[in-house]
Structure 1
């Protein structure tokens, strides 16, 4: 019943939906910032580590803005996952669609999608243009897990693979011409990761992007997303040049440096709620 009501909200006329979503997200932002102590601490810790020279008050403003954008992008899944392709095309704009032609040139492709809050909007919009493959982590809540899978499978003919399925079906899909929509910047622990700087702080970063790029001779095309006044702008960047490097660690560090530049251009909409520095090098103290 709750899900039906949520989706019904997404079917309202855009102006009505916008007004309602602004009020709901605004109220919940203030409530969560005051009461969700642990999440607030994670956000402010991340921001203080990555932007030590920015004033504390400015970081608090970023954290409040981040919560608001996070809640807006959550609410927007009501219309994003409701199955109306025309609405998705109206509200999620690809800023440079000509760049997508590189995905169909026959070369294996990795669409590098850092954790900006609109990444689900970008996924749905790009699925209307090209059939992609991606990997996901199963949620403990089965109802939520099914909702996410159905929402992300709504448009086109995407292939969603769980991490438990391993890399073989992923490689097969990429060799058959499906671009990989890959989220490279979460802390999954030390396995298959190296410690490289992210805003000057050592961060456990998976090496899958340079490994796959080298193995398949794949091009790496970054995709970033910006929320703006109830809609989304998806920027498909030019392929990374001179990537991967010979050294896997150097390649991963170069990738992080690129992500830093995009984050600096849109700080509040990057995923600061994630414990990006949870895994520490041996001998270093815990951060959170």
Structure 2
């Protein structure tokens, strides 16, 4: 992205942040449906993932689910304007919160907030930082300008943005100092520090970082999920009870437990999970590539 393209992107996002949420959401949904009609690499990835994870569906069901997913994905890109440039008051107005723990507890034990890549994950992470100091792990984007913009806007309410490649020692230090750390471990980041465990019955390369960091930082692991509410009513952030007896002494057992929890959440709104990601990019030895 050249300088002009970047400037236009920022201007677009700023402009979208000034529009009513419902209008932006409807516009994104319409664009997503239109783009689904066109052949694309991302469309093929979505359909491959759906066929692997839901083998009992029919072709019309795959098509319908994939189209609804495109609606949500493109909509989430446009809503990024509100999320990155909207005020804290605006964000709080659009998010309904259901938390099983006290989010204002300044004496809480070391905590890892474990998120998952639903289309609304962005707003859930940003919202928490409007309430208490937190650190959030991110993956560097290939476009440096866009990456810097995302990091700056995601952290504008005080969140400490930490690149995923940062040493575990720093993250453990933050946990022991009482600063919650938000991270997601449900994407394929390569076989290093990962194990293959089932995800909807398919071996998926799954990070073990949550277990290792929780063990080193003596931290509880609290899952959270942000989902899009129907009828353009905004979002719902659900913060669950901490995982019991987690981490165990077996990283593979813990990884499977994370995937099982995620599966339950996906079944509630399968169109909102981030199927455009190549979740099965890396395969076990001897297994054929799927993309």
TM-score relative to the length of structure 1: 0.92
Contact 1:225–1:232 (8 Å) recurs in 2: yes
1:152 — aligned with what?
154
Contact 2:135–2:160 (8 Å) recurs in 1: yes
Provide the rounded CA distance (Å) in 1 between the counterparts of 2:118 and 2:240: 15
Contact 1:192–1:206 (8 Å) recurs in 2: yes
Contact 1:109–1:221 (8 Å) recurs in 2: yes
1:234 — aligned with what?
237
Contact 1:99–1:237 (8 Å) recurs in 2: no
1:118-142 deviation line (CA, Å, top 9, x unaligned): 1110011111112111222222212
1:131-157 deviation line (CA, Å, top 9, x unaligned): 1112222222122112101110121x2
| Other structure's SS at 1:76 match | helix
Contact 1:83–1:154 (8 Å) recurs in 2: no
2:117 — aligned with what?
115
Provide the rounded CA distance (Å) in 2 between the counterparts of 1:19 and 1:106: 39
Structure 1 segment 10-29 matched on structure 2, within 5 A: 10-12=17-19, 14=20, 17-26=21-30, 28-29=31-32
1:154-197 deviation line (CA, Å, top 9, x unaligned): 21x21111134322221111111111111010101110000000
Structure 1 segment 242-257 matched on structure 2, within 5 A: 242-257=245-260
- Of 69, 79, 82 in structure 2, the residue corresponding to residue 79 of structure 1 is 82
Aligned residues: 282
CA 98–220 in structure 1, closer or farther in 2 if over 3 Å, else same: closer
Structure 2 gap ranges (5+)? 1-6
Answer with 89-98 or 259-268: which moved more. Answer: 89-98
Contact 2:28–2:76 (8 Å) recurs in 1: no
Structure 1 segment 52-67 matched on structure 2, within 5 A: 52-67=55-70
Q: Which consecutive segments of 4 or more residues in structure 1 shift more than 4 A?
A: none
2:198 counterpart of 1:191: no
Provide the rounded CA distance (Å) in 2 between the counterparts of 1:223 and 1:243: 15
What's the CA shift for 1:24?
Answer: 4.5
Provide the rounded CA distance (Å) in 2 between the counterparts of 1:36 and 1:127: 39
| Other structure's SS at 1:66 match | helix
2:290 counterpart of 1:287: yes
Contact 1:99–1:238 (8 Å) recurs in 2: no
- Of 127, 141, 144 in structure 1, the residue corresponding to residue 143 of structure 2 is 141
Answer with 211-220 or 201-210: which moved more. Answer: 211-220
Instruction: Calculate the aligned-residue CA RMSD, in Å.
Output: 1.7
Provide the rounded CA distance (Å) in 2 between the counterparts of 1:164 and 1:144: 18
Provide the rounded CA distance (Å) in 2 between the counterparts of 1:97 and 1:254: 19
